[in-house]
Structure 1
Amino acid sequence: MNIVPEPGPLRLLAASTLVNTFGNGLWMASSALFLTRSVGLSVGQTGLALTLAALVSMTASVPMGYVADRRGPRGILVAGLLALATGTAAMTLVDSFGAFLLVALPMAVADAAQRAARGAVIAGAVAPDRRVYTRAYLRSLTNVGIAAGAACAGIGLVVDTRAAYVSLILGNATTFVLAAALLSRLAPIAPTPAPTTGPRLVALRDRPFLVFVVLDGLMATHFGLFEVALPLWIYLRTDAPHWLIAVLFLVNTGAVVLFQVRAARGTDHLGGAARASRRAGFALLIACVLFAASGATTSAVTVGLLIAGAAVHVFGELWHAAAGWGISFGLAPADAHGQYQGAYSMGMQLGQMLAPLLVTALTVGWGTPGWLLLGTAFALIGCLVPPVVRWALATRPTPHVEEPAPATAG
């Protein structure tokens, strides 16, 4: 992977991603404490508000993608980031549950718009055989930016005053503005005309693509393993030292930064992307088996199993991400990348909403049988993706040519 990308769209996308995700790290590390300690929301209110915002964002994804296609994705991406900057700054004025919803729900719509538009910008600004590489490169930078932002947020968390939290939030708002300014330097991407016949939201009528979105969303529940289930499993069901949780997060983050681009090779055509999804499913199965085994061992063996499971899990994560990009780009009509990217993001959001309850109930609540059931489900989902992709290809009016793109240096 080239550390500094070549001049052009990728460099602008990379710079804006690094700036924006630094701000995301500031918010992710401080938002829970800000909302509970400074605003005064209860834990239940915070969880409810964030869930409602996620539902609004998921519902708005395809319509906002349609708007990006019709109006031009670069403009919608910039407008969405500026709207998020405004909403983030308004967070400093929130003093109640109702006020938080008044700010958070419009922000959810803006977030849906910028997510869908970002995918369409990549589709319009980057050559087809470089789209998956671009998404992989940007995901590596995302982890760098979030880690750096979270580290800086630690200063505010130590101070633990309202002024410190407000400073972090305004810092996040500033990064949205800076990211929008960088992206405004991209060449405009021409809007596509609305279809004269047939449905407008074609992504919602594309049954095989929607089946893929659901499968991909169910696979995405594996993110909840690291965020929720595994820390609780280590704390409650193993004798591993609690500091190992931080080590496993470092393993995951570092591997994404170092290997995401390499793991994405071969997924810029549909056949390779479908096979990567199958590999991801079996890797996640192996990881679940290793995590389950750690509950019946002691000391160094437990630590070794957990580290091995984390290493295998992250490769499942890398293949899963790359497969989703390749399939979502490869199945989208040229005039509907915005709404197809919006629909693809719906699956990820579905997985994020299901994950905390589902994976925790299966793993921590049920123990070893739950781990094995979850791993088997991941493998089955991965095996279902290739036939669904073949079904989708069979429904396309113009056959796709399944030829691997030339290898990309990375």
Structure 2
Amino acid sequence: MTAISGETGYTRWRGPLALVSIATLLSSVGSGAWLTVQVLYLVQSAHLSVAQVGAGLCGAGLIGMATAAPLGRLADRYDPRLVTVWILALESVAAAGFLLARSFWLFLVVTAIVAVLERGGSAVRGAVLAALFKGAERVRARAAIRRMYNLGAAAGAGLGALVLNHAGAGLYTVCILANAVTYALAAGLNLLLPQTRTAPAVPAGAKMAALRDRPFWCLTALNAVVTLHYPVLTLALPLWVAQHTRLPLWTSAAALGLNTVLVAVLQLRAARGTEDVRVAAVRMRHAGIAIGVGCLLFAATSRLPAVAASLLLLVAVIVYTLGELWHAAGASGLAFGLAPDRDQGQYQGVFGMGTGLAQTVAPPLVMLLATHWQEAGWLVLAVIVAIAGAAVPGFLRVAYGSEHSQGLSRKEVKEEHV
């Protein structure tokens, strides 16, 4: 593999990665703070009902999901670095638009624009990484950037909590404007990245290959099912602790904090080897099993006294977090490894469509299972996620063939030495 140390490595790896990481950190601090205060601002200051907020966010999520692949295709036709800069700049303007969202329809328009730019921006950033890095570097870069995103989002949530502690229209306005500024700063940092493409990689009239790649769609669907676990710690566990256990309420916040720390420390280690799609597929199987076991352990806390339940909760968070790390690494390895280099943007967009759909459906589904079905609901969620993850390696062998998977790995190794 090409060296990543020394002057050449710094130029090709450290420099661009540092710029993208700092840009990600800035934007995630702003978005983390905004997401923390979003609902209360919209209800208390914009005077929208809870039902209107929920409907608007759900509708916007579906719109953003549907537009991810077309925006990703822009990154295949043009320089993805410049497409990213434009998207972040537009996100800055759109984020400030929440100051004007004083009616349901204005809120729906603003949040739909933000959702389109967020989903499309995720696909385009995947294309940027694919253009800047090769082989194993791509997965490692995405893991490093995801770690920065998690750290930034956690810091932003902390700032948002301070705002909520002194809730008022003035501080809400500051939070919205700060989010807009961080997007603008991120756009400026991305503009400093080296040029990634000088000519269109895909002819203007070419059809979107990703939309016709049925095996990739099937893997996207399996990943989407595994992704249903994502609101477990933020939504399901707090309600579970409050309503069905003897644990103090603060333990759900401590669980989320432990998860954040473990993700930040272990993200890069979990991504090792997943540039090989066969390894990535096995990592998805491990992820499904670990997340499933974690869900069963969360369910078991309801039947224990406080001290024993606290110890079990600690074990459950560790097991669940390992599954979350393996899922993120495996999904990234498959999304990059199975996409042709010239079509990375649209393939990342298609993969993101599955993730976006899962993230739209998951909150009400997981809360229904965990709070109404109780232990049986946790069992259903565990089984669904475990089966989907376990199916990935077998599907990869059947749909792509072992020779094709090995060919992908050999191709990547060859490109890294050119």
**Partner amino acid, structure 1, of 2:211:** L
Aligned counterpart in structure 1 of residue 352 of structure 2, from 331, 336, 345: 345
Distance in 1 (alpha carbons) for counterparts of 2:374 and 2:115: 35
Tell me whether 1:177 sits opposite 2:184 in the alignment.
Answer: yes
Please name the residue that 1:138 is paired with: 145
Deviations along 1:353-388, one digit per CA (max 9) or x if unpaired, are 121122222222112222222212222111111122
Please name the residue that 2:279 is paired with: 272
Please name the residue that 1:231 is paired with: 238
Question: Are the aligned partners of 1:94 and 1:100 in contact in 2 as well (CA < 8 Å)?
Answer: yes
Tell me whether 1:284 sits opposite 2:282 in the alignment.
Answer: no
Distance in 1 (alpha carbons) for counterparts of 2:338 and 2:104: 41
Which deviates the most, 90-99 or 236-245? 90-99
Distance in 2 (alpha carbons) for counterparts of 1:160 and 1:215: 41
Q: CA deviation at 1:102?
A: 2.2
Q: CA deviation at 1:339?
A: 0.5
Q: CA deviation at 1:396?
A: 9.9
**Partner amino acid, structure 2, of 1:311:** I
Which 4+ runs in 1 deviate beyond 6 A? 395-399
Distance in 2 (alpha carbons) for counterparts of 1:405 and 1:383: 27
Unaligned 5+ runs, structure 2? none
Please name the residue that 1:88 is paired with: 95
Matches within 5 A, 1:1-400: 7-190=14-197, 191-195=199-203, 200-394=207-401, 400=407
Pairs aligned (count)? 402
Cα distance 1:202–1:243, how it changes in 2: closer, same or farther (>3 A)?
Answer: same
Q: CA deviation at 1:112?
A: 2.5
Deviations along 1:71-109, one digit per CA (max 9) or x if unpaired, are 221111111100010111121122111111222222222
Give the percent of matched residue pairs that are identical in Structure 1 and Structure 2.
37
Q: CA deviation at 1:286?
A: 1.3
| 2:273 counterpart SS class | coil
**Partner amino acid, structure 1, of 2:55:** L
Which deviates the most, 127-136 or 106-115? 106-115
Question: Are the aligned partners of 1:25 and 1:149 in contact in 2 as well (CA < 8 Å)?
Answer: yes
Distance in 2 (alpha carbons) for counterparts of 1:170 and 1:192: 36
Q: CA deviation at 1:395?
A: 11
Unaligned 5+ runs, structure 1? none
Which deviates the most, 72-81 or 370-379? 370-379
Q: CA deviation at 1:155?
A: 3.0
Question: Are the aligned partners of 2:226 and 2:386 in contact in 1 as well (CA < 8 Å)?
Answer: no
Distance in 1 (alpha carbons) for counterparts of 2:358 and 2:106: 28
Question: Are the aligned partners of 1:68 and 1:76 in contact in 2 as well (CA < 8 Å)?
Answer: yes
Question: Are the aligned partners of 2:136 and 2:273 in contact in 1 as well (CA < 8 Å)?
Answer: no
Question: Are the aligned partners of 2:136 and 2:274 in contact in 1 as well (CA < 8 Å)?
Answer: no
Distance in 1 (alpha carbons) for counterparts of 2:200 and 2:119: 19
**Partner amino acid, structure 2, of 1:242:** L
Cα distance 1:375–1:405, how it changes in 2: closer, same or farther (>3 A)?
Answer: farther
Distance in 2 (alpha carbons) for counterparts of 1:395 and 1:93: 54
- The two structures have a TM-score, normalised by structure 1, of 0.93
Distance in 1 (alpha carbons) for counterparts of 2:157 and 2:137: 30
| 2:274 counterpart SS class | coil
Cα distance 1:105–1:196, how it changes in 2: closer, same or farther (>3 A)?
Answer: closer
Q: CA deviation at 1:11?
A: 1.0
Cα distance 1:401–1:204, how it changes in 2: closer, same or farther (>3 A)?
Answer: closer
- The two structures have a TM-score, normalised by structure 2, of 0.91
